[in-house]
Structure 1
Amino acid sequence: MQLKPLAFLIAAAFAAPAALASTSGVVISQVYGGGGNSGATYKRDFIEIFNAGSAPVVVGGWSVQYASSAGSSWSTTAIPAGVTLQPGQYYLVAESLGAGGTVDLPTADATGTIAMSATAGKVALVRSSTALSGSAPTTAEDIVSFGAASTATEGTPVPTLNNTTAALRAGEGCTDTNNNSADFGTGAPSPRNSAAALRSCSGTPINQPIVPACPDGATASGTAGGFNVTATDADSRVNAASKIETPTPWPAGITLGSFVGATAAGDTATQTINVAADVAPGAYTVSLKWDNDQAQTASCSFKVSVTGLVPIYNIQGNGAQSPLLGSGVTTTGVVTKVMNNGFFMQDPVGDGNAATSDGIFVFTSVAPTVSAGQNIQLSGTVAEFNPGTAGNPSTATRPMTQITGPTGIQVLSSGNAITPVEVDLATLPANGLEAFEGMLVTLRGPLTVQQNAFPVRAGDTIDSVTGVIDFGLATSSTSGFGLYRIQPTQDPSFARTNPRTATPQVSGGNVRIASANVLNFFTTFTDGSNYLGQTGQGCSLGGSVSKSNCRGADNFTEFQRQRAKTVANLSGLNADVVGLMEIQNNGETTVQHLVDLLNAQMGAGTYAVVPQPAQGSGDDAIRVAMIYKPGKLTLNGASIADPADINNRAPFAQAFTTPNGAKFAVIVNHLKSKGSCPSSSSSPDADDGLQGCWNATRVQQAIQLKSFLTQVQGTTGAQDVVLLGDFNSHGQEDPIDTLTHDGAIVDAVAHFDPADWSYIFDGASGRLDHGLVTAGLLGKVVYATSWHINADEPVVLDYNTEFKVFGSSATGSPDYYTATAYRSSDHDPMVMGLNLTKSMKGTDGRDTIVGTPGDDIIEGGPGADMLTGNGGRDQFVYGSMLDAGDVITDFKPGIDSLVLTKLLASLGIVSADPLASGHVTCMASAAGAIIGIDADGTAGPAKTKPLLQLKGVACTAVNAASFKF
């Protein structure tokens, strides 16, 4: 014991001890329920207890318990057996881990999962692990109520707490009058564990005790081994350790090895326990005495397990969990795969049982020192690792069997090889990979890559892959899906079976419409700056303006990367009308900037902004918008929005007119997302496990959209309407069914390809981005599909700079970013083609037909007609030789076309290339090219008959692009 000042000792002798109401002296000294919440410092809730008495108290087998403020149902966290609290010693019990907070608790003495209220509740210390009952139980060793709403248990409750305050017992835990409001104050949480400095409540200085750390050890029978136990003393040096052989002597062969004493107060003393090779298998409990230089002693007991070799397949067993869970084992195997925190090893022979795995993971927590191919022996404890939360059924039912705390690792030989077991996934039953957990296998394919964070495109394939079967989370969320995975031991060779396309692979129609979720395209950034270089800026959300409301790019550097990808996306679509989702809701500023970028690349005036509706754009941070090509379309009236309360992002409609007079309207939509569920599980918008959160709201939005459609048709006069956007609903879900079930609205994308997709979530693909049309328009839709440039692409390609390497000193993943359309968003854009041409037909006589300035289909019919397209992309249709004799006055090669499909069929002409076969000819004349028909082509004797004249056009300008055969 260290010498204390005399004046202090005299004062202590006359100090009155604190009053204690707890019969044992052990009390609850601190309560904190705000851990992991917004604004919290610590990441977890915690309960701290304290021995305010003058004698050691055995608290092993006790529990701390929690109930809500007025509740009578109690949750428990047990204190492990064997725990003794010395006078003045604290003990820290960690509880629920939250998503917030920035600081870890000190190392907890025990850990539970109770989610405590940050403001009001009840905490009890109980002399058993049996749950209490009632809202104010009287059998607890100590009980604390906090928050004005709480049922009083000891006097009146502690005042209401919050995310940054804890209830702290006065006198550092020493005050206990059985009145919570008098005994406790509130303040910043200050958790203390059993290693914290002791606090004397009696006034007598405390001589800090020796604290042994004597974990159980294990060795293998037939092999000499050993392990270490330790002890420390905060105010003295531990300088000796000796056997305690009364009443139970140590077994022969288990002896004390080397001892290294502490060199200073607070240092660690280490005693090696040796186990001879001839010690018989079994479990032996031995005791050890520790001494220090102040004549103090302490003792500890621990178990020495001497085991025979347990084969890996016996450790694994034939179920999801090991039959030896918690047992110490010694085993051997060949290392097959080394990871950064452990390694896989496998029995080289196996037991021949298809239900048991011959491989296992050894968790080292740090980089292991073994190498692949080494045959090793080790001892450790069998454990089951759940990569998710305790309540996650996807992972809790399929934990990963592993050996933890490996000791005595010996390399028996090197250069060994394990032959992979071939596994056919096509014939494997559900969860069949459990029998191969930890084993080296070859999975035969072809195997298809799903959505991932690595530079491999989803949909690409490999013929086979060799590696070790592992199990883990499919997402970054501990509540997400768990899936079996393979850790390759050989580099796989990927085939690009899902190739990228530079542009949408579509053709036809004369109006192209697209929908693009541009993934939080903001010109104001989360760092408070904007694209103009101004600082101190913010984004609008509801009634607030703050940089915390901003989404998307964090700074101008990221925005430059984001906008390059977004421009590549939209210019690749090259649509005449584009509906935009997730663009900043700041008037026309952001959408106009995007148009400026597009016009800088595609040519001045290519795009213009559809003006924002007078009804506004809602109060969300993001809105929907629309851009169009003024050279192709004319706005028909003003835009319209639906400001109904159910729409947090108001649908946006605009009618258009084509140069040939055709009229149609587009409504851009962004329905409520599937995330951020309501707090009440009884809400109709709670997650139903199938359609996500807020499904009821999306259904109401769909009902309102049908009403808005009627308004748009009546206001604009356009009966043909396209409803597009991010509906946050798959095609078979309630909101889309609400829109389409009566047939008045049709899913055009599903009409062409029911299996099309636009989004991937947790590896499952589906289509949230739709192109719906009114029933009368469906016949004019020539294509509707998704352009797969985003959902299939790995997220590492996106514009974000976090966790990517920029420079030789940086750490992270390589930067695979390119200024291309790929992974410009997380949603694939939708593209649709409409055939809105105007049809004109002549009589059986001589006609003069003049088309519109737009796209026309002109069919002169029998008789020598004078035909003029008059601008646009025109089609001149011929059905038989009776239509011969026409003059087309303004044919534009490469733009206009001659449609000869019916004519050639009427003559029985079948040719892959009628121009090359001579069935269609071109003869020059002073007035222009004469197009002729030769019924038997160059191979027969028939002569060419003239069909029509292209006034002012040379035959050299006429090629296959001028025809539709």
Structure 2
Amino acid sequence: MPSKSSARLAALTVAAVCCASTVVVTSPAHAADAVRIHDIQGTTRLSPYAGQQVTDVAGIVTGVRTYGSSRGFWIQDPRPDADPATSEGLFVYTGSTPKVAVGDAVTVSGTVSEYVPGGTSSGNQSLTEITRPTVTVVSGGNALPPARTIHSWSVPYLYTPSGDEAEDGSINHRPLRPHWYALDYYESLEGMHVQVADARVVGATDPYTELWVTVKPWEHRNRRGGTVYGSYTSQNTGRLQIQSLGRAADFPDAHVGDRLTGTTSGPLDYSQYGGYTLVANELGTPESGGLERETTRAQRRGELAVATYNVENLDPSDDTFAAHAAAIVDNLASPDIVSLEEIQDNSGAKDDGTVAADQTVGKLIDAIVAAGGPRYDWRGIDPVDKADGGQPGGNIRTVFLFNPERVSFTDRPGGDATTGTRVTEVYGRAALTASPGRVDPAGAAWEDSRKPLAGEFVFRGRTVFVVGNHFASKGGDQALTSQYQPPARSSEAQRHLQAASVNTFVKEILDVQKNADVVVLGDINDFEFSETTRLLEDGGALWSAVKSLPRSERYSYVYQGNSQVLDQILVSPSIRRGWGLSYDSVHINAEFHDQISDHDPQVLRFRP
């Protein structure tokens, strides 16, 4: 899933046509046989009037958007037809601040358009609009059509029909079956005045003043109030994104597990980032669920604690060092080894050729000491400038912190940005030719992506091989609400190659030393049930220890209201079979609106 470096640039859809005119009259101006909104919306996702001119389409204004690039207003026919598949609402794109008000009765003439937020290459569904409108205000102060309530029993259990093979997997031309499929149900309400009541928050308020709620409070619920994503075939149908038509400053700061009490109502939109979105004229009152940040227990004397933590594009200019340090010391109980992802170079995103990150890491180590933690030592390898992806100029990489009072690092020279480490045999035991060293840095799997960092550590006389990773992101994948079903996950191809590369490296260690202790960890950017994880585990070389947790507790990231696994710690058979393995996904970030990273750290404790 995307982190700060790949976050979207805007949260609103952007339409491509403009210019509207508004006329105010005192009596209805539409003909008796004028096209009505449900005629325009039709019984599929695409309007039968797409590309055509329509005249005097009547409706009541239910919402007005005066900001952003997608300015316009929603209208709804107060005289619905009897077909549940046909929406009675419609967006009118003006391109400039509309000259209408909520409650106005209007007629609209213009061109029916199917606008795809994010462009056709995104795979998103389209939004039916009237563009280049001429708007006639007939009267003002009218009552709005009653809001359609979206609740647990109105949203079907099944998520979506399968795409039509003749349409390249698209569901656009399939007749809507709103009583069978959740996406069909939401589509049948596109543009209409809808409401939810007393909805639980399952995705915290983000920087774009959005949050996610569920209308199915029991659906894959975890103990902290979130909704767990545990399968490609079992979607969380009750999720709905909430935006606001009001001031951004008035939008609530909500954590997962909070509630929007009372009524939240407004038009149902479809956005580039999140799909079906309730754009609220009226927001419920936030009520705290009392969510607190977790703290894991400290490792015992004979336990080695190894953690992974994505610190989200950390560079010396950030103001989060003290908070990250407190998280490592207090919430993670100062693990013996910490694999950090997204450490940026000393100049951050400034594209000036800098690749060294000693200032970034040094500042974090000093902050940890100030927070009462140990003075960690560290190892890392500077990348080739702009060769590892991430934020341009940032040169993100994986770095090892380790507590020298508890664990030692075995330094073997020779590793650099382009020279990979290999496995050799020393006195009958596995060893690395370079430590720290990169795994297969010239391999096709790692092109424009972060290279794995491998190192040898010694704890109580036992060697432990640690491989830190940051696999390719999910950027470019089609959304769960895509018009193509099932949606394409194109980003998987590179992660599959990366997983196979790391698996091969681990097998080389185990071929030399069957009982070697190997820990592979980091931001894998994929689920514990994914093919990526299966390829990492291939042949029994590794096992993802997050699977030792109950299914409802397996998550490290929250995306569009789905609590899901992206960060993992995988272990070799000797560790899995050993005594006292303990795994903890420490929830300190992903569920909170005031997060310092979008990832939760993971901690593994075991006895080598």
Q: With the length of structure 2 as denominator, give the TM-score of the two structures.
A: 0.64
Instruction: Specify which of 396, 409, 414 is matched with residue 622 of structure 1.
Output: 396
Per-residue CA deviations over 1:226-257 (Å, capped at 9, x if unaligned) read xxxxxxxxxxxxxxxxxxxxxxxxxxxxxxxx
Instruction: Specify which of 294, 309, 322 is matched with residue 564 of structure 1.
Output: 322
Verify: 1:752 aligned to 2:549, yes or no: yes
Per-residue CA deviations over 1:567-596 (Å, capped at 9, x if unaligned) read 233233232321122223526443233212
Q: Any idea what SS the aligned residue of 1:323 has?
A: coil
Per-residue CA deviations over 1:718-775 (Å, capped at 9, x if unaligned) read 9434332223343233443233243343222211244512235566553232112222
Q: For residue 525 of structure 2, what is the aligned residue in structure 1?
A: 728
Q: For residue 492 of structure 2, what is the aligned residue in structure 1?
A: 692
Classify 1:350/1:508 alpha carbon distance in 2 versus 1 (closer, same or farther; 3 Å). Answer: same
Written as runs of structure 1 = structure 2, the 5 A alignment for 1:879-898 is: none
CA contact (8 A) 2:20 2:95 kept: no
Structure 1 Cα separation of the partners of residues 21 and 535 of structure 2: 65
* 1:492 counterpart letter in structure 2: G
* Pairwise CA distance, 1:712: 9.5
* 2:192 counterpart letter in structure 1: M
Written as runs of structure 1 = structure 2, the 5 A alignment for 1:470-485 is: 470-474=269-273, 483-485=275-277
How many residues end up aligned between the 2 structures?
Answer: 452
* Pairwise CA distance, 1:785: 2.5
Q: With the length of structure 1 as denominator, give the TM-score of the two structures.
A: 0.42
Instruction: Specify which of 580, 584, 599 is matched with residue 827 of structure 1.
Output: 599
Structure 1 Cα separation of the partners of residues 25 and 603 of structure 2: 71
CA contact (8 A) 2:537 2:544 kept: yes
Instruction: Specify which of 552, 569, 572 is matched with residue 774 of structure 1.
Output: 572
* Pairwise CA distance, 1:414: 1.7
Q: For residue 376 of structure 1, what is the aligned residue in structure 2?
A: 106
Verify: 1:641 aligned to 2:440, yes or no: no
Structure 2 Cα separation of the partners of residues 218 and 566 of structure 1: 54
Q: Any idea what SS the aligned residue of 1:602 has?
A: coil
Per-residue CA deviations over 1:773-810 (Å, capped at 9, x if unaligned) read 2223234345313223333345xx5xxxxxxxxxxxxx
* 2:314 counterpart letter in structure 1: F
* Pairwise CA distance, 1:520: 2.6
Classify 1:422/1:601 alpha carbon distance in 2 versus 1 (closer, same or farther; 3 Å). Answer: closer
* Pairwise CA distance, 1:486: 0.9
* 2:597 counterpart letter in structure 1: S
Structure 2 Cα separation of the partners of residues 411 and 758 of structure 1: 53
Instruction: Specify which of 510, 515, 519 is matched with residue 312 of structure 2.
Output: 519
* 2:254 counterpart letter in structure 1: V
Verify: 1:673 aligned to 2:426, yes or no: no
Classify 1:402/1:498 alpha carbon distance in 2 versus 1 (closer, same or farther; 3 Å). Answer: farther
Q: For residue 804 of structure 1, what is the aligned residue in structure 2?
A: none
* 2:38 counterpart letter in structure 1: Y
Verify: 1:654 aligned to 2:453, yes or no: no
Structure 2 Cα separation of the partners of residues 468 and 785 of structure 1: 41
Q: For residue 607 of structure 1, what is the aligned residue in structure 2?
A: 375
Structure 2 Cα separation of the partners of residues 611 and 217 of structure 1: 64
* Pairwise CA distance, 1:495: 4.5
Instruction: Specify which of 394, 414, 437 is matched with residue 190 of structure 2.
Output: 437
Q: For residue 426 of structure 1, what is the aligned residue in structure 2?
A: 155
* Pairwise CA distance, 1:410: 2.4
* 2:144 counterpart letter in structure 1: A
CA contact (8 A) 1:221 1:309 kept: no
* 1:402 counterpart letter in structure 2: E
Instruction: Specify which of 120, 128, 134 is matched with residue 407 of structure 1.
Output: 134
CA contact (8 A) 1:747 1:771 kept: yes
Higher strand share: 1
Q: Any idea what SS the aligned residue of 2:401 has?
A: strand
Q: Any idea what SS the aligned residue of 1:431 has?
A: helix
Verify: 1:331 aligned to 2:131, yes or no: no
Q: Which runs of 5 or more structure 1 residues have no equivalent in the other structure?
A: 1-98, 100-107, 111-214, 226-280, 282-305, 476-482, 524-558, 678-686, 798-821, 837-965
Structure with higher RCO (Cα < 8 A, 6+ apart)? 2
Verify: 1:321 aligned to 2:46, yes or no: yes
Q: Any idea what SS the aligned residue of 1:411 has?
A: strand
Structure 2 Cα separation of the partners of residues 641 and 710 of structure 1: 19
Q: For residue 144 of structure 2, what is the aligned residue in structure 1?
A: 417
Structure 2 Cα separation of the partners of residues 346 and 587 of structure 1: 56
Classify 1:827/1:592 alpha carbon distance in 2 versus 1 (closer, same or farther; 3 Å). Answer: same
Q: Which runs of 5 or more structure 2 residues have no equivalent in the other structure?
A: 1-8, 10-15, 157-178, 210-252, 346-354, 389-394, 413-434, 477-486
CA contact (8 A) 2:202 2:561 kept: no
Structure 1 Cα separation of the partners of residues 286 and 197 of structure 2: 13
Structure 2 Cα separation of the partners of residues 697 and 751 of structure 1: 26
Structure 2 Cα separation of the partners of residues 216 and 370 of structure 1: 12
Q: For residue 491 of structure 1, what is the aligned residue in structure 2?
A: 283
Larger Rg: 1
Classify 1:736/1:379 alpha carbon distance in 2 versus 1 (closer, same or farther; 3 Å). Answer: closer
* 1:504 counterpart letter in structure 2: T
Q: For residue 818 of structure 1, what is the aligned residue in structure 2?
A: none
Written as runs of structure 1 = structure 2, the 5 A alignment for 1:526-545 is: none
Instruction: Specify which of 501, 510, 517 is matched with residue 701 of structure 1.
Output: 501
* 1:739 counterpart letter in structure 2: L
Structure 2 Cα separation of the partners of residues 741 and 498 of structure 1: 41
Q: For residue 75 of structure 2, what is the aligned residue in structure 1?
A: 345
Structure 1 Cα separation of the partners of residues 475 and 73 of structure 2: 38
Q: For residue 583 of structure 2, what is the aligned residue in structure 1?
A: 784
Classify 1:223/1:315 alpha carbon distance in 2 versus 1 (closer, same or farther; 3 Å). Answer: farther
Per-residue CA deviations over 1:434-467 (Å, capped at 9, x if unaligned) read 2212211223674543364334335645466322
Q: For residue 963 of structure 1, what is the aligned residue in structure 2?
A: none
Q: For residue 958 of structure 1, what is the aligned residue in structure 2?
A: none
CA contact (8 A) 2:496 2:535 kept: no
Q: Any idea what SS the aligned residue of 1:519 has?
A: strand
CA contact (8 A) 2:492 2:532 kept: no
Classify 1:411/1:221 alpha carbon distance in 2 versus 1 (closer, same or farther; 3 Å). Answer: closer
Classify 1:392/1:719 alpha carbon distance in 2 versus 1 (closer, same or farther; 3 Å). Answer: closer
CA contact (8 A) 1:787 1:828 kept: yes
CA contact (8 A) 1:674 1:694 kept: no
* Pairwise CA distance, 1:491: 1.0
* Pairwise CA distance, 1:691: 5.3
CA contact (8 A) 2:296 2:584 kept: no
Per-residue CA deviations over 1:71-117 (Å, capped at 9, x if unaligned) read xxxxxxxxxxxxxxxxxxxxxxxxxxxx9xxxxxxxx9x9xxxxxxx
* Pairwise CA distance, 1:353: 2.8
Classify 1:332/1:702 alpha carbon distance in 2 versus 1 (closer, same or farther; 3 Å). Answer: same
Structure 2 Cα separation of the partners of residues 318 and 727 of structure 1: 41
* 1:331 counterpart letter in structure 2: V
Structure 2 Cα separation of the partners of residues 380 and 495 of structure 1: 43
